[in-house]
A and B are shown apart, each in its own frame.
Chain A
Amino acid sequence: MTQAERQQWDVVVVGAGGAGLRAAIEAREQGARTAVICKSLFGKAHTVMAEGGIAASMGNANPGDNWQVHFRDTMRGGKFLNQWRMAELHAREAPDRVWELETWGALFDRTKDGRISQRNFGGHEYPRLAHVGDRTGLELIRTLQQKIVSLQQEDKERFGDYEARLKVFQECTVTRVLKDDGRVSGAFCYERESGRFFVLEAPSVILATGGIGKSFKVTSNSWEYTGDGHALALLAGAPLVNMEFVQFHPTGMVWPPSVKGILVTESVRGDGGVLRNSDGKRFMFDYIPDVFREKYAETEEEGDRWYEDPDNNRRPPELLPRDEVARAINSEVKAGRGSPHGGVFLDVSTRMPAEVIRRRLPSMYHQFKELADVDITAEPMEVGPTCHYVMGGVAVESDTAAAVGVPGLYAAGEVAGGMHGSNRLGGNSLSDLLVFGRRAGLSAAQYAAGLGAARPAVADAQVAAAAEEALRPFAAHGAAAGGRPENPYTLHQELQQTMNDLVGIIRREEEMKQALRTLGELRVRTRGAGVEGHRQFNPGWHLALDLRNMLLVSECVARAALERTESRGGHTREDYPDMERDWRRVNLLCRLADPDADEGQIALERTNTEPIRPDLLALFDKEELVKYLAEEELYE
């Protein structure tokens, strides 16, 4: 049997992005001995890629802003499907979480009077995104990373050991959350460098693993986004919610093929960039949906005036929520009005002087210049939708970030569901990471402390089973000596193509059924995925293990998408194009049914969401609410 070293911690945080690091800081400050574990090097998590900014109603750019307005925008963006208590907490606490970053050394761009500058973004009524050029995520992650280092320096002073109370296990992967009698007892992990197995025993495990984009072919996401946390939760018995809602960002690069999907930040539009089709027309004016009609400009002139005078003009429709813009682009391309490489044109070159573009959008300038030979100060970019974010995730209690039904398990950040409803507004993720990362760290530390000495144990048998599962790809290679083992890279490519083509931005019943059949086949073939070589830093092996997670999560997306017979936010059905008020209250929970079944591992459950608290409902006009809420809800 494989030996696995064991270590004891109070809180284990899986993930070192914004959510994980904020959770770890909080848990450690609460006095919990905290371990952070992440697949990449410390400071490289996906959060580093975030560009545009972090949404918080500090009111620095427009004093009219406050948490209520932010809450309203978030609910509208999510088409009222949001777990409203999360949206409320998020809107209330985001400013404090941003200000706190400054006390840890963050340097945001400034307003004239020296406060944090805030920029416009789609769906936000006021300029609300704190930012640093177009590299806000880097600033966020570096600040949190450096805060962790400063806590470690304190511990070094006090205990003579940097890692006495807070340790980062970098380039390690968790493959199982372990349980004892229904409660969390730890995590089973391998070190990527050596392939060595180890167990972190802890009563609290926080999942902060980010998203699932690597199940799609065209995506802005990094290799880490294999849905691990989603799968770990399912396998540990916790349900996922809202999995049908996947955000396709309207503007990804489309050319050359090797960079297809890489993000073009929304700030390009927030700062004045416009979308045009091959006829040179600003087509977004034709795509303003009824629910947003009063809030957006009807003429180009009005839209243009808004940048200077937002109080007396309405915003241009390029700044509609992402789902609307992505669908519009999709339709234009389909109608034959696309750009040469199958996107549309996004132009800043005719809107701002070259020097302003280079200053405000430095990474975009660089990215297009280096990767596509396009000078965005002189010519338009070509852009098209790219899989960007998953709204769905682990179902959690709003206040504590505790996963439903599994004591000791928590989830925060992109891996958690509910906060963004059917569609996330730009900038609301980074703030979400901080608000709920902190809350998760707090609850996890308190729960661990509350247990005293009565901690759940890790049984040897569970460790052995996890080790065997992790070694299967090597066994599969041996077993296939006669036949040929499946190549994990090929399986991954087929999975990505399937999700992209059949469960993508526009969905149809037949295609999703086909996707489920294909996923079933891929699952069977994945059992035969074999890898060569040894366990030291072996990417083929890592991928073979990640496939389990991607297949589970993809099935959740496909099943929930097939079930929801309406269109809302990030879920668009060609066969059910309208938003149905009756569906608003319905959440689809995904649970693990039978992990070994060839035909589907996921069972769906319909639940009704809690009614929105009356004082929060009162923040909206009745005329607006009738567009979203069913008759009975209005009079409750």
Chain B
Amino acid sequence: MTTYDASFRVWRGDTAGGGLKDFTVEVNDGEVVLDIIHRLQATQAPDLAVRWNCKAGKCGSCSAEINGRPRLMCMTRMSVFSRDEVITVTPLRAFPVVRDLVTDVSFNYEKAREIPSFVPPPGVAPGDYRMRQEDVDRPQEFRKCIECFLCQDTCHVVRDHEENKAAFAGPRFLMRIAELDMHPLDAAEEAGLDRKRTAQDEHGLGYCNITKCCTEVCPEQIKITDNALIPLKERAVDRKYDPLVWLGNKIGRRRP
């Protein structure tokens, strides 16, 4: 077992402001960044605020930016850095700081509420749902999402553009729309809800210019852009220019 001292710079502060603070801290074999943050808490900074739960990459709590890159602290091995590298840990930039590494992620919970829920198929009793594995494969990929919000943090549409937040649900929640849209038994359409259209009109799909930055940071390796956003865009566009649908929309629905 080998041990060495690493140099860490951790952002400390709160709503009133703050800055990077330097620490020298022991690192052992096999450790991850979250272990080091915990060691700082136990030995040097007992009130250092950080979110975490599972320490196994399953809950999506421990999101932060490590050397500027959005990552899960519990899944970032210390061995990916060289020993003399200074490791900088800062809170997610797209969200307001609460304290130290903890940010206010309520934006995401607000967006989650605005996405219309699953619509159960009428007349199908519990226990009678039948779906083929091939048909659930696609939405299942999106349901691997652990809501770490790293994609939300990294997407340039909101990262430095607070003003876009009202109109843009972000990759995680656009993907949620895609998921419901691909659910084999979702009865939204029968209930008069056009999910693709709401993605475009109400959740800001149009802001996305498929840079794939979200896909790159996703710790679950979900192909957010290719498998969720692009298909949603294609279909939303289909809809938009389908003259019949277009006409129907014109007549049926008036938007301010």
Contacts and interface: CB of A to CB of B under 8 A. Distances in A.
B140 A107 contact: yes
Given A48-B146, A105-B183, A372-B30, A536 B52 contact: no
Contacts of A99: 126-127, 129
B124 to A, nearest CB: 8
Contacts of B53: 40, 44, 46, 48, 222-224
A41 B102 CA distance: 12
Interface in A46-96: 46, 48-49, 58, 95-96
Contacts of A105: 117-118, 120, 180, 183, 186
Interface stretch (B56-64, B154-162, B230-238, B247-255): B56-64
A258 interface: yes
Contacts of A371: 30, 32, 56, 75, 77
B30 A44 contact: no
Contact of A489 (B1, B46, B102): B46
A109 B57 CA distance: 22
Contact of B118 (A115, A146, A255, A363): A146
Nearest to A108: B136
Contacts of A493: 42
Contacts of B31: 256, 258
B49 A539 contact: yes
Interface stretch (A6-14, A135-143, A279-287): A135-143
B61 A102 contact: no
B29 interface: yes
B129 A102 contact: yes
B112 interface: yes
A582 B91 CA distance: 58
A152 interface: yes
B129 A537 contact: no
Contacts of A540: 41, 46-47
B47 A541 contact: yes
Interface string B56-74: 1111110000000000000
A303 interface: no
A539 B47 contact: yes
Interface string B126-146: 110111110010011001111
A156 B112 CA distance: 14
Contacts of B145: 142
B132 A48 contact: no
Contacts of B120: 103-105
Contact of A110 (B48, B126, B131, B147): B131
Given A41-B105, A105-B183, A153-B117, A115 B52 contact: no
Interface in B10-31: 14, 28-31
A42 B183 CA distance: 24
A152 B117 CA distance: 10
Contacts of B117: 105, 146-147, 149-150, 153
B59 A96 contact: no
B100 interface: yes
A286 B117 CA distance: 52
A488 B116 contact: no
B98 interface: yes
Interface residues of A, number: 71
B57 A367 contact: yes
B100 A107 contact: no
Contact of B28 (A150, A257, A366, A487): A257
Given A42-B109, A257-B30, A538-B47, A138 B58 contact: yes
A138 B113 contact: no
B4 to A, nearest CB: 14
B30 A153 contact: no
Contacts of B60: 44
B32 A258 contact: yes
Interface string A594-627: 0000000000000000000000000000000000
Interface in B88-107: 98-100, 102, 105
Interface in A396-426: none
Interface in A520-554: 531-534, 536-541
B146 A152 contact: no
A162 interface: yes
A95 B126 CA distance: 10
Contacts of A259: 30, 55-56
A132 interface: yes
Contacts of B131: 107, 110, 114
Interface in A351-393: 363, 366-367, 370-372
Contacts of B48: 539
B118 A104 contact: yes
Contacts of B61: 40-41, 44
B46 A488 contact: yes
Interface in A110-156: 110, 113-115, 117, 132-133, 135, 137-139, 142, 146-147, 149-150, 152-153, 156
B208 interface: no
B216 interface: no
Nearest to A194: B98
Given A146-B118, A222-B54, A537 B59 contact: no
B51 A41 contact: yes
Nearest to B100: A537
A570 interface: no
Contacts of A372: 30
Nearest to A193: B98
Given A104-B120, A262-B56, 5 more contacts: A44-B60, A107-B131, A109-B136, A162-B113, A259-B55
29 contacts: A40-B51, A40-B59, A40-B61, A41-B51, A44-B61, A48-B58, A95-B127, A102-B126, A104-B118, A105-B183, A105-B186, A107-B131, A107-B183, A132-B140, A146-B117, A146-B118, A153-B113, A222-B53, A222-B54, A255-B30, A256-B30, A257-B1, A257-B30, A258-B28, A258-B32, A259-B55, A367-B56, A371-B30, A536-B49
Interface of A: 40-44, 46, 48-49, 58, 95-96, 99-100, 102-105, 107, 109-110, 113-115, 117, 132-133, 135, 137-139, 142, 146-147, 149-150, 152-153, 156, 162, 193, 222-224, 255-259, 262-263, 363, 366-367, 370-372, 487-490, 493, 531-534, 536-541
Interface of B: 1, 14, 28-32, 35, 41-43, 46-61, 75, 77, 98-100, 102, 105, 109, 112-113, 116-118, 120, 126-127, 129-133, 136, 139-140, 143-147, 180, 183, 186
List the 6 closest pairs (A to B, CB-CB), nearest first: A256-B30, A105-B118, A150-B117, A540-B46, A114-B130, A533-B47
